[in-house]
Structure 1
């Protein structure tokens, strides 16, 4: 198995997203942070919902992209605010990140 350790990030898309498919409202997206263009990063989008994905849902999303949490890794949460240029009042948003590793035969 590869010993390569990467990072995954989860963020709520408060105004929806256009990549990989358009959503009409807030949704959560998981990104596998890699070198190269952001548009080429493996991405998983949950159905439109303001609810944060559960630990089990995050693990399933990672596995669907060919990854798993690295040994002893945990999701680290932080708060931020939406940029002032958004078409709604500034609000608090949550983001999470964790160290991950490719599964055997995974995408990385």
Structure 2
């Protein structure tokens, strides 16, 4: 097992996504934050829904990308506001981050 610790972030994409696939409405995305280009980061997109993914759903999506939460890690939530350039009024957005590590034999 490696001792390499990385960070995962989930965020609600209020206007949908274009990468890696286009979605027609709000959806949650999980990113594994790594060095290099953002376009190369592992990403998991849940089906279109504003519902926050459960802890179990987050664990399953991390595993599908070859990662798991680091020992004693928890999801830390913060909120901010959406950018003013969106086509809708400014609104509160939630984001969460947690320390993660590659699974044994994982894709990382």
Query: TM-score interval w.r.t. the shorter chain?
Result: over 0.9
Q: Which residue of 2 aligns with 1:75?
A: 75
2:35 — aligned with what?
35
Number of residue pairs the alignment of both structures matches: 108
Give, in angstroms, the shift of residue 105 of structure 1: 1.1
2:30 is paired with a residue whose SS is strand
Displacement of 1:103: 0.2
RMSD of the TM alignment (CA)?
0.4
Q: Is 1:51 matched up with 2:67?
A: no
**CA apart distance, 1:104:** 0.7
| Structure 1 stretches of 4+ moved >4 Å | none
Structure 2 gaps of 5+ residues are: none
| Alignment TM-score, normalising by the size of structure 1 | 0.99
**CA distance in 2: counterparts of 1:14 and 1:56, whole angstroms:** 22
